[in-house]
Amino acid sequence: MTAFAPLHVLTGPTAVGKTEAALTWAEQHDAEILSCDSVCVYRGMDIGSAKPTAAQQARVRHHGLDLVEPSQRYSVAQYVEYAQAVIADATTRGKRILITGGSGFYLAAFFGPVTDSLPIGDAVINEVRALQERGPTAVLARLQELEGTTLPAWLDQQNPIRVAKALERRLASGRTLDELRDDFLQRPGPFTGHRVTSELLERPDDELRQRIAQRTREMLRDGLIAEAEHLLTLQLDPELASARAVGYRATMDWIQGGKTVALDGLAERINLDTWALVRKQRKWFRRLGLTPGPNGPA
């Protein structure tokens, strides 16, 4: 890989208008687009993920879309390896790469470390899975037992996947969560050799809420329900990102509930879930030190 190939990141909360802005930037800078969206990697999840349309993809070459089936797991480590290969190939062809999307862990990879090399043995994995079968409180209780103190504030205790991963690393290493995190933060990021510039798009809350509501109406009109019905036929593991994706989860629940709630009620739940996602995304932006507007020369 060319160590100093420049990368530009264009991000922002969902429904802010990243897709069109990314297309315009890429056309102006002779760049290709690398998606940074953890739902767009799944085939067949097009409407609910606001995946670029065929016409939009025809304008600029896109990467990071339709990589795996919804029934497959796709990790941040896999994304990083894929992104490195895409960037290397584009660089050899004299093309710039624009990274666009709003998935926190994927996005964070371009600004620092996101994975470690700690091996997790089968015994640890099986122990944690057994606890998960008893529910998230059992996993959390085991982690608290090992730590012996209040869990660190940086751990999202409301996210069962993050808690389970933390427990795996705690069991595998025998070290405290703070010790593991301190070591992790000393690691170089996967794109440390690149000059990374960024741009954070934002809109006033009222305007963004209106855009979210409009997009929800369009998704329900254009085929979100049919996509959710297909996902239900796959009997997805509920822990998969595809099974928990905003919009899809609400629609699958609505279908399984016999569609007794009016379509407007489904739309309202999707809007609420989407706004909760916006709040999470904004926390990521602050954590990464991103502020609205350009961050460094493009």
Give the chain's radius of gyration (CA, Å). 20
Q: Cβ neighbours of residue 261 under 8 Å, at least 6 residues apart?
A: 254
pLDDT of the residue at 5: 86
Residues 256-266 pLDDT 10s: 999 999 999 99
Task: Please give the residue that has the higher pLDDT: either 2 or 173.
Answer: 173
Name the one residue in this structure whose structure tokens are 């369009």. Answer: 218
Which pair of tokens denotes residue 51? 């995946």
How many angstroms separate the CA atoms of 238 and 228, rounded?
14
Assign 296 a pLDDT band (cuts: 50, 70, 90). low
Mean pLDDT of 8-31: 97
- The one-letter amino acid code at 252 reads M
* CA 248 distance to own-chain centroid: 15
- Phi, psi for residue 203 in degrees, rounded to 5: -140, 160
Which pair of tokens denotes residue 204? 């006033």
3-state helix, strand, coil in the chain (%, to 5): 50, 10, 40
User: 14-34: b or e for each residue (b if 16 or more CB lie within 10 Å)?
Assistant: bbbebbebbbebbeeeebbbb
- Phi, psi for residue 293 in degrees, rounded to 5: 100, 180
Mean pLDDT of 135-145: 92
- Phi, psi for residue 174 in degrees, rounded to 5: 75, 10
How many angstroms separate the CA atoms of 161 and 150, rounded?
19
Q: CA triplet 75, 76, 79: central angle to 5 degrees?
A: 95
How many angstroms separate the CA atoms of 117 and 190, rounded?
13
Residue 232 pLDDT > 80, yes or no? yes
Q: Which helix H or strand E contains 32, and what residues bound it?
A: strand 31-35
pLDDT of the residue at 298: 46
Which pair of tokens denotes residue 8? 């530009």
Residue 157 pLDDT > 50, yes or no? yes
pLDDT of the residue at 272: 98
Average pLDDT of the chain to the nearest whole number? 93
Mean pLDDT of 65-72: 98
Name the one residue in this structure whose structure tokens are 């904004």. Answer: 282
Mean pLDDT of 289-298: 74
Q: CA triplet 282, 13, 280: central angle to 5 degrees?
A: 35
Mean pLDDT of 206-229: 98
10 closest CA partner among 80, 98, 83: 98
Cβ–Cβ < 8 Å for 6, 195: yes
Q: CA triplet 120, 172, 177: central angle to 5 degrees?
A: 115
Task: Please give the residue that has the higher pLDDT: either 297 or 16.
Answer: 16
Assign 1 a pLDDT band (cuts: 50, 70, 90). very low
